[in-house]
Amino acid sequence: MSTTASDPLAALGTLPGVAEAVDSVRKAVDRVYGHRIMRRRSNEVTAEAALRGARGSAALSGADWSLEEVRRRTDFGGDDGARAIGAALRLTAEAGQLLSIWRQSPVRVLARLHLVAAGGAEPEDAVGRPRLAGEHVDEPLIEAPLPDADEVAGRLDGLSGLILAGTAAPALVTAAVVHGELLALRPFCSYNGLVARTAERIVLIGSGLDPKAICPAEVGHAEQGRAAYLAAFEGYLSGTPDGMASWISHCGRSVELGVRESTAVCEALQRGAA
Which among 195, 205, 51 has a CA at the least distance from the CA of 116? 195
Is the pLDDT at 73 greater than 90? The verdict is: no
Is the pLDDT at 89 greater than 70? The verdict is: yes
Q: What is the pLDDT of residues 98-156, one digit of tens each?
A: 999 999 999 999 999 999 999 876 777 889 999 999 999 998 788 899 999 999 999 99
Whole-number average pLDDT of the chain: 93
Q: What is the pTM of this model?
A: 0.94
> Counting every residue, how long is the chain?
274
Q: What is the pLDDT of residues 217-236, one digit of tens each?
A: 999 999 999 999 999 999 99
CA distances from 13 to 20, 185, 211, 259 (A): 10, 22, 21, 21
Tell me what pLDDT residue 111 has.
Answer: 96
Q: How far is CA 111 from the centre of its chain?
A: 15
First vs last C-alpha separation in the chain: 53
Distance CA 58, CA 64 (A): 7
Cβ neighbors of 72 (< 8 A, separation 6 or more) are: none
